[in-house]
Structure 1
Amino acid sequence: MQNDGMNLWRQMGETLANEITNGVWTPGSRIPSAPDLAIRFGVNRHTALRALAHLQDKGLVRIERGRGAFVVENVISYRMGPRTRFEENLVGLNRVPSRKLISLGDLPANEAVAAGLGIPVGQTATLARLLGEANGLPLSYGSNYFPTSRLPGISEVFRSAQQEEKERLSITACLRQVGITDFQRKMMRVRSRQPTNDEARYLRMPPNESVLEVIVTNVDSDGIPVMYASTSFCSSRVEFVMDM
């Protein structure tokens, strides 16, 4: 490849795609940078970038701003049932689960949150934004709302859990500390959409790739709502398996 003809980026992309298929570049590994690829293939940097974009369009790599291009890992089969939990899902797939608390605070419930929690519009809800990871790879970014008056102390529990457990924060464990020993999904809705700027940044995904947004209401053993959540999953990293 001594010239930058019209199809050089495509030829270069196909060569790299074959290497990925044949295991030269394993899932999760970092592809050489565009300048390094340009030297290897005898092309300019723009051509190398087009080749990487071609691989991303084919779903073979993901490009993370400021970090480079990585071979896409095997899709995680994420089980959805009345009581399946984030940690159980990933441990069952031999992945290491972790959660990070991105933000925590109280706010007046809007119509959607109020309906999900069964509280009046404007009543205080506690919002915990969490980033879920599998083996260190961002998988989900969720806004989790709790009825503050119904679960007094929930903010302090999350804050303490983050400090004590570092990255192993568990919603189940936090709810147990405020008296909710069991809960299950009452409602679930899934839709595909473009990510927000925050979602793309925290999930380290390109803004033109879709997220799968899962909206759920969880209730306690008496059927009373204890959590309303909107969680976005990077669509290229997960598939949902529904347990009926």
Structure 2
Amino acid sequence: MNEQDRPRTPIWRAIATALRHEISEGRYGPGDKLPTEATLAARFGVNRHTVRRALADLVETGLVRTRRGSGAFVAAVPAQYPIGQRVRFHENLLAAGRIPHKRMFLVETRAATVAEAETLALAPGGAVCACHGLSLADGVPIAVFESVFPLPRLAGIDAALGETSSVTEALRRVGIPDYTRAATRLTAVLADATQALHLEIRQGDPLLYATGVNVDGQGVPVEYGRTWFCGDRVTLTVEG
């Protein structure tokens, strides 16, 4: 495919992305008024109709609200979510002043993939428990997740996850009183149709894809997690 054949990002979407980034950086806080349509049109070198389409996209995702005759205002800012050795979903969001909630879609037992077996120090095809779900802050979806646990090492984790949405509590019930993050990897991806449905965004919108390995006190892997964060609803901070 040559350069001319590649699909181009609509200008309005590029403007919406730029404004999302500025809001996530704190340039505009909750309740702050965004620049006028005329100012944004001049800044980006487009007409006001294009700016209006970009603002409508931010309104649809709940990041911005508009008042007739008054302009556009920031409705919310991304939740601060630190990623360090002690990653705890509920604790992170409570510390950020948000109300955390997890919605479980499925808890299943299956054979590990090659990558999962290697990461969790299992024999090829070893049994794992995988849970799939949605993380919310103040009732707003912020991430889709999949957590994979080694069944030979954590007997009963599937039953525990069926009773509680807290990974920390489920691990405690099977004899893991504490755990830490051994490794985290972050990449940028685009939302597929299913992720977009759950996160209430558009297919192709940007996501932050995080993979991580949690270990027990002896350094033995107890969880391999994959999380797809909604890019404009979460600010990830990597702690040392």
The change in CA–CA distance for 1:123 and 1:217 in structure 2 (over 3 A counts) is: same
Partner residue, 1:180: 176
Q: What letter matches 1:186 in structure 2? A: A
Deviates more, 1:146-155 or 1:200-209: 200-209
1:128 partnered with 2:131 = yes
Taking only the aligned residue pairs, the percentage that are identical comes to: 30
Report the Cα distance in structure 2 between the residues aligned to 1:231 and 1:113, rounded to whole angstroms.
15
Report the Cα distance in structure 2 between the residues aligned to 1:86 and 1:22, rounded to whole angstroms.
23
For the residue of structure 1 that corresponds to 2:169, the secondary structure is helix
Question: Contact (CA 8 Å) 1:62, 1:206: kept in 2 or not?
Answer: no
Q: 1:45-84 alignment to 2 at 5 Å?
A: 53-55=53-55, 60-63=58-61, 73-84=76-87
The change in CA–CA distance for 1:125 and 1:54 in structure 2 (over 3 A counts) is: same
Q: Which runs of 5+ in 2 are unaligned?
A: 1-11, 17-27, 34-48, 66-73
Partner residue, 1:145: 148
1:156 partnered with 2:154 = no
Deviates more, 1:234-243 or 1:216-225: 234-243
Partner residue, 2:198: 202
Report the Cα distance in structure 1 between the residues aligned to 2:56 and 2:134, rounded to whole angstroms.
23
Deviates more, 1:196-205 or 1:185-194: 196-205
Q: What letter matches 2:143 in structure 1? A: S
Decide which of 219, 224, 233 is 1:223's aligned counterpart. 219
TM-score, structure 1 as length reference = 0.71
Partner residue, 1:193: 189
For the residue of structure 2 that corresponds to 1:176, the secondary structure is helix
Report the Cα distance in structure 2 between the residues aligned to 1:101 and 1:107, rounded to whole angstroms.
17
For the residue of structure 1 that corresponds to 2:86, the secondary structure is coil
Q: What letter matches 1:55 in structure 2? A: L
Partner residue, 1:4: none
Question: Shift of residue 199 of structure 1?
Answer: 1.2
Q: 1:107-122 alignment to 2 at 5 Å?
A: 107-122=110-125
Question: Shift of residue 22 of structure 1?
Answer: 10
Report the Cα distance in structure 2 between the residues aligned to 1:21 and 1:218, rounded to whole angstroms.
34
Question: Contact (CA 8 Å) 2:30, 2:76: kept in 1 or not?
Answer: no
Question: Shift of residue 24 of structure 1?
Answer: 9.7
Question: Shift of residue 61 of structure 1?
Answer: 2.7
Q: What letter matches 1:150 in structure 2? A: R
Question: Shift of residue 241 of structure 1?
Answer: 1.1
Question: Shift of residue 243 of structure 1?
Answer: 1.6
Report the Cα distance in structure 1 between the residues aligned to 2:181 and 2:87, rounded to whole angstroms.
9
Partner residue, 1:211: 207
> 4+ residue stretches of structure 1 with deviation over 6 A?
49-52
Question: Shift of residue 198 of structure 1?
Answer: 1.8
Question: Shift of residue 54 of structure 1?
Answer: 2.0
Partner residue, 2:90: 87
The change in CA–CA distance for 1:120 and 1:128 in structure 2 (over 3 A counts) is: same
Partner residue, 1:38: none
For the residue of structure 2 that corresponds to 1:207, the secondary structure is coil
Report the Cα distance in structure 1 between the residues aligned to 2:149 and 2:205, rounded to whole angstroms.
30
RMSD: 2.8
Question: Shift of residue 130 of structure 1?
Answer: 2.0
Report the Cα distance in structure 2 between the residues aligned to 1:113 and 1:21, rounded to whole angstroms.
40
Report the Cα distance in structure 1 between the residues aligned to 2:116 and 2:30, rounded to whole angstroms.
48
Report the Cα distance in structure 2 between the residues aligned to 1:211 and 1:218, rounded to whole angstroms.
22
